[in-house]
Amino acid sequence: MTRQVFIDLTCMGSQHHILMTDEIWQKLYVGFMNYKCRKPDCANPAEANVEESEPTLLLKPEDIVLKEPGSPEKTLRTLLRPGDKVSNHYKTTSSEISAVVGAVPSTCYPTYGVPTIRSDLPAPLIRRVSDRTSYGEEGNAYSLLHPTIFAQKGVFERDFFKTRSKQEISEILCNIGVKLSEDEFENVWNLASKKHHRGEVCVENIRNVLDELQHADRAKCKAAT
């Protein structure tokens, strides 16, 4: 509940109409009663002659602000939290370790230990039962729960990444309905061979090259229109 109170602040040399809540009104009343209890009794001359100390003001002039800009009504200002004064000097831990644009990328950080997936080792043709090393050719839990359309047809990842000859790649493209001229096939083969450091070509590289060429053709058509 909000009350409009008329307070005569003689010590401030002005009078104000202040909007107060019940909580603020209760605090002012308690402070006034405490001050009244500490006031010396005039019936006792010894206490009356004692010089009174200057009372502590419950309200300061800077605590009273306008309720709205241009409004004659006034109210108490909103108290600031201690954290508001230091918010401008707040720093995150990422800024302390130079995790900003232009810093050294994480790929340049030195690595230690043995990786979980041993992509640095070639997968053996025949694996032993006791060999629990992950060579990166196996699927994860997601592939087991949601197998791809290729896995449902008996075609797995090892079939996509197996090195194949030019004649074998040409037959696969012809069987799946991808028709390319000799020049187009040579261009696709050359681009796919550049994706491997030894020039080996697999079905996955051919798929990626065909997707890139198709995306480039679509971009040219959009630019032309």
For the stretch 85-113, pLDDT in tens is: 555 566 666 665 665 566 666 777 777 88
pLDDT at 11: 45
DSSP state of 65: E
pLDDT at 12: 47
59 burial via Cβ count (<10 Å: 0-12, 13-18, 19+): middle
pTM: 0.41
Range of weakest confidence among 3-17, 28-42, 130-144, 184-198: 3-17
- In this prediction, residue 61 carries a pLDDT of 76
**Residue 26 φ/ψ, nearest 5 degrees:** -65, -40
pLDDT at res. 171: 93
Total residue count of the chain as it appears in this document: 225
Strands annotated E in 69-207: 74-76
Q: What is the pLDDT of residues 151-195, one digit of tens each?
A: 888 888 888 888 999 999 999 999 989 888 999 999 999 999 998
Question: pLDDT tens, 64-85?
Answer: 788 777 777 878 777 666 555 5
